[in-house]
Amino acid sequence: MNTTLRGRTSVVGVAESDIGKVADGLTSLDLIGQAAARATSDAGIPLSEIDGIFSATSHYSMSSMEVGEYLGIRPRYSDSSNMGGASFVSHLLHAAAAIDAGLCTTALIAYGSTQLSDGGRLVTASMPNPYEAPYGPRYPVSMFAMAAARHMYEFGTTREQLAEVAVAAREWARLTPGAFRTEPLTVDDVLSARMVSDPLTTADCCLVTDGGGAVILTSTERARDLRRDPVPVLGVGEAHWHRNISEAATLTTTAAVDSGARAYAMAGLTAADIDVVELYDAFTINVPLFLEDLGFCEKGEGGAFAADGRIRPGGALPVNTNGGGLSYCHPGMYGIFLIVEAVRQLRGEAGVRQVRDAELALVHANGAVLSGQATAILGGSNTM
Amino acid sequence: MNERIADSPASIYARGLAAGTLLYQRCSDCHSAVFHPRVVCPRCGGAALEWCQSTGRGTVYSSTVVRSRSGANPVALIDLDEGFRMMCRLRSEADAVIGARVAAVIPEGCTIDELLFAMEEDR
């Protein structure tokens, strides 16, 4: 396992663009621009010092070139690799390696989408799969629905347990300024919402919003001289085992097992060390799956683990402390927001939702249909 | 000189359905059943994939019912007895039961989107 990248780079700036429903006419690139300007300002680094661009979007297949042009950056390292919503955590790995190798010094990781303004349809550059699309699954919810159904069949996970994931997310969102959905939500509300693809209702599904985010990464050595406390990348890993759900060997274990193991090994940490967890909750089933695959509980126990208030505000394991993709925001791909929230928690700037003494955060992002998985472990400034 | 591919896997699969048969591939090297159709074995990298005819019988691995204004559409992942998995539509919501034994319904001239599975005893 690679341990040489442990703590070599740090997040020194994070920001979100406007989120929710943004002004008419704004583009994905406008949101990336707004977030990038805010993130460089947060870092105290001029935009002109960015020499590495890492971006993936649904609207632009050559995202990093679009971002470079928009921002007037001529990078010497450019990466538009796309693992769906996992891209941005994956980009942390790629950027850390590039910086450590001396190929760039200051990386911008950026995302933006106007999915809500565009009418809510999932923009995707993916070809429809010829062995799936003809049968009419609704992409991507039906794929996660089949994972949920199988988890229920194998382990006795219940719809009530999945609903609790949505309720916990809403409780966190109610503490988060700018969250998209903050009205009270109960388990019964989730169960009685309109069924979309059995066993998942509309309330088991992530939001459709606009929004963007940006993360600035540089060497930890340099980070010490910048205005913000550095948030070191202690461990990071990525993995994918399939792209299309019908080629997944199993629906109840994901490649998070591998991405998580790689991140933990680099960091020299285990799940027991983690203070705050940010998981990509595109659908409620994601949370039990990833809690299991990342070692917070045994395989099959994720539903029960999440169901007794453990992941709500005040619970033993704070999960998705801004309300996640289920209640905070979800502009097509959510991964960048996981990093932003983890950094805010580690800097102690999360206001009333602040997890006390948060020193170690695990960020885990999913891409496509339980396909791409990327895990990062970020630390507070005292962890180096 | 390398041999060119004369007939695409997608075409062979589609012609199989049209002839009333469900085809899949088996690797000549590692003997894995392979689906979706392709030109390289994803288990061992072997390039010798032979076409085989499936019995069309299998077990529902997972399922969902897609709800929309136009009605309910039951969709499943089916583990065929020969050892490959595929997505398909089910004939009825009542078939969307994990663990149920199902069989392919392949009408004459079947196209990919017309393929269905139904409970084995009801076929």
Check B64 against A142: CB less than 8 A apart: yes
ipTM over 0.90: yes
Check B36 against A137: CB less than 8 A apart: no
Q: Where are the domains of chain A?
A: 9-121+207-383
pLDDT at A125: 64
Q: Contact B33/B82 with Cβ under 8 angstroms?
A: yes
Check B96 against A198: CB less than 8 A apart: yes
Q: B118 to chain A, minimum CA–CA distance in Å?
A: 14
Cβ count within 10 A of residue A1 = 11
Domain B57-122, CATH number (from 2.40.50.840, 3.40.640.10, 3.40.50.1400, 3.40.50.300): 2.40.50.840
Residue A134's SS3 state is helix
* Tens-digit pLDDT string for chain A (384 aa): 577 999 999 999 999 999 999 999 999 999 999 999 999 999 999 999 999 999 999 989 999 999 999 999 999 999 999 999 999 999 999 999 999 999 999 999 999 999 999 986 666 667 889 999 999 999 999 999 999 999 999 999 999 999 999 999 999 999 999 999 999 999 999 999 999 999 999 999 999 999 999 999 999 999 999 999 999 999 999 999 999 999 999 999 999 999 999 999 999 999 999 999 999 999 999 999 999 999 999 999 999 999 989 999 999 999 999 999 999 999 999 999 999 999 999 999 999 999 999 999 999 999 999 999 999 999 998 888
**B30 at interface of A, judged by CB pairs closer than 8 A:** no
Check B87 against A246: CB less than 8 A apart: yes
**Mean pLDDT for chain B?**
96
* Chain mean position to CA B69: 28
Q: B1 to chain A, minimum CA–CA distance in Å?
A: 32
pLDDT at A301: 98
Which residues of chain B have a CB within 8 Å of the CB of A134?
112-113, 115
**B112 at interface of A, judged by CB pairs closer than 8 A:** yes
Nearest CA-CA partner of A327 in A206, A161, A213? A206
* Single-letter residue type at A110: A
**B10 at interface of A, judged by CB pairs closer than 8 A:** yes
Cβ count within 10 A of residue A299 = 15
Q: pTM for the full model? A: 0.97
**A146 at interface of B, judged by CB pairs closer than 8 A:** yes
**B21 at interface of A, judged by CB pairs closer than 8 A:** no
Q: A53 to chain B, minimum CA–CA distance in Å?
A: 33
**B73 at interface of A, judged by CB pairs closer than 8 A:** yes
C-alpha to C-alpha distances, A204 to A12, A161, B56, nearest whole angstrom: 34, 11, 34
Check A135 against B98: CB less than 8 A apart: no
Q: B19 to chain A, minimum CA–CA distance in Å?
A: 18
Two tokens, residue B66: 């897609």
Check A147 against B62: CB less than 8 A apart: yes
Residue A284 CA to residue A287 CA, distance in Å, equals: 6
Nearest CA in chain B to A252: B62
Which residues of chain B have a CB within 8 Å of the CB of A251?
61-62, 77
**A140 at interface of B, judged by CB pairs closer than 8 A:** no
pLDDT at A122: 65
Which residues of chain B have a CB within 8 Å of the CB of A246?
36, 77, 85-87
Q: B107 to chain A, minimum CA–CA distance in Å?
A: 16
pLDDT at A126: 74
**B62 at interface of A, judged by CB pairs closer than 8 A:** yes
Check B64 against A150: CB less than 8 A apart: no
Q: For residue B88, give the nearest of A129, A130, A135 by CB distance.
A: A135
Residue A38 CA to residue A40 CA, distance in Å, equals: 6
**A153 at interface of B, judged by CB pairs closer than 8 A:** yes
**A136 at interface of B, judged by CB pairs closer than 8 A:** yes
pLDDT at B96: 94
- Over 80: is that where the pLDDT of B1 sits? no
Check B113 against A134: CB less than 8 A apart: yes
Q: Which residue of B40, B80, B87 is the best one to mutate when testing the A interface, meaning the one whose CB has the most A CBs within 10 A? A: B87
Residue A311 CA to residue A326 CA, distance in Å, equals: 14
pLDDT at A3: 74
Q: Where are the domains of chain B?
A: 9-53, 57-122
pLDDT at A383: 87
Q: B93 to chain A, minimum CA–CA distance in Å?
A: 11
φ, ψ dihedrals at A187, nearest 5°: -55, -40
Two tokens, residue B8: 């695409």
- Which class is domain A9-121+207-383? alpha beta
Q: pLDDT for B26-82, tens place per residue?
A: 999 999 999 999 999 999 999 999 999 999 999 999 999 999 999 999 999 999 999
Q: For residue B86, give the nearest of A131, A138, A198 by CB distance.
A: A131
Cβ count within 10 A of residue A189 = 16
Nearest CA in chain A to B77: A246
Q: Where do we find the tokens 């394991």?
A: A317
Q: Which helix (H) or strand (E) holds A367?
A: strand A360-367
